[in-house]
Chains A and B, each alone.
Chain A
Amino acid sequence: MSNEVKTKEKVDMDPKYIIKLTVTLFVTCVVVAGLLGLVNSVTAGRIEQINIENTNKALTAVFEGASAPEFPEMEIADDLKAAAASAGATLQNVYEAKDGGETIGHALKIVASGSQGNIEMIVGVDGEGAVTGVSIVKNSETAGIGSKVMENENGVLDQFIGKSAADSPLTVGKNVDAISGATVSSRGVTTGVNAALAVAGVMG
């Protein structure tokens, strides 16, 4: 680094120079975009497959009793979305849970806010409107604190099993036990389950 103060360059307004700048940048962008397209064509299929596998794993986990589970995705009606929103969470997907062709309930993908970001979870609800299980798909909770809730430490996620609209609204400290130090994360999951119960209520 020199200590000399550089004299300010005169802005070169020569059209040829400007065209050169534009063309260079444009060509670089085209080349890079081509490269990205190439890599994407290799990886897109695999990434999608991994996402489907992860979702399937989470879906199966909330209907553990099912021997031949299938989860066809359903269209979401606006009133379901509204029900989830009124409970403070977002409804992303609804899956019909089928065991050997027979409907045994619904799996709801719900996003609720935790302490560090959104918590994406799948909540299973059976035909009677009782929770069959909660599994976390994606979260960014604090490692070692909020992550305890996400990893189901001391069965904190299992306590929702069997809860139904009769217990609603579920409240941390009242009818839901939180992990100490991770109240906000526990509340996030509880909000999600409340939203699931609200949606299940609308579905009937």
Chain B
Amino acid sequence: MNLKKQFKEGLLTQNPVLVQVLGMCSTMAITTSFFNGLGMGVAVLVILTLSNVIISAIRKIVPDKIRIAMFIVVIAGFVTCVDLLIQAFLPDLAKSLGVFIPLIVVNCIILGRAESFSYKNGVAASFFDGIFQGIGYTVVLLAMCIIRELLGAGTFGGGLLGPDLKGIQILPAQFPAKMLTLPVGGFLVLACLIAAMQWALSKSKK
């Protein structure tokens, strides 16, 4: 087990969004305000860690042929739990994330890590893999939220201070390009981030 390597992989060299290009749907759909990004990131982090631990714990007794079905049952179970808990205790977050919480079931990051990591590694390593990959995902979400919110709506930290409150206005209201908070803006911002990441990675390799 090499924590430092795993951490670097989760955040940079194997970043789930920018390098593995997984979980695109939620990444583009919900990164319109800081609160959404944080909530989604933490929800994925928790589910990913739990499912990683369970899958790695049961990996020896799971027959190879039905492993995907088993993974999905485990993942769907955790996602539903988290969904119910968010609805009960964080209703504002549930309202703004809506269907994207249940959709974490089909988020490729979680199934991808189950198949490529926790099915082959020990419980502790899988636990940290879940945490680090989750952090990698959250950081990218937050970066996208900050960029899209600042340039698209001119605010920062939307939803953090209160459910219906807009963030702090930084750019005067007439400057922001509304387009960036729409789906097309998601594609553009994500593309720029991936390009920057690839550039940085190839530069550091040299």
Contact = CB atoms under 8 A, between A and B. Distances in A.
Given A43-B88, A46-B88, A47-B88, A24 B61 contact: yes
Interface stretch (B67-75, B127-135, B188-196, B198-206): B67-75
A43 B73 contact: no
Contacts, number: 60
Contacts of A25: 66, 69-70, 73
Interface string A19-36: 011001100110011011
Given A24-B61, A24-B70, A47 B77 contact: no
B13 interface: no
Interface stretch (B38-46, B78-86, B101-109): B78-86
Given A20-B63, A21-B66, A36 B77 contact: yes
A39 B76 CA distance: 13
Interface in A26-78: 28-29, 32-33, 35-36, 39-40, 42-44, 46-47, 50, 54
B98 A140 contact: yes
**Is the contact region of chain A dominated by helix, strand, or loop, or is it mixed?**
helix
Given A42-B88, A50-B91, A142-B182, A32 B77 contact: yes
Contact of A47 (B32, B87, B178): B87
A43 B98 CA distance: 17
A28 B74 contact: yes
B66 A35 contact: no
Interface in B166-200: 178, 181-182
B87 A50 contact: yes
A146 to B, nearest CB: 11
B26 to A, nearest CB: 15
Interface residues of B, number: 27
Q: How large is the interface on A (under 10, 10 to 19, 20 to 34, 35 or more residues)?
A: 20 to 34
Contact of A29 (B58, B73, B85): B73
B156 to A, nearest CB: 16
A39 B81 contact: yes
A143 interface: yes
Contacts of A21: 63, 65-66
Interface string B134-167: 0000000000000000001100000000000000
Contact of A144 (B65, B76, B181): B181
Nearest to A140: B98
Given A21-B66, A24-B66, A32-B77, A39 B87 contact: no
A43 B81 CA distance: 9
A43 B89 CA distance: 8
A48 B84 CA distance: 11
Contacts of A35: 77, 81
B24 interface: no
Contacts of B153: 144
A200 to B, nearest CB: 29
Contacts of B32: 143
B123 interface: no
Contacts of B81: 35-36, 39
Interface in A141-183: 142-145
Closest 10 CB pairs of A and B: A32-B77, A43-B88, A46-B88, A43-B84, A39-B81, A50-B91, A47-B87, A47-B88, A21-B66, A28-B73
Given A32-B74, A50-B87, 5 more contacts: A24-B62, A28-B74, A36-B77, A43-B84, A43-B87
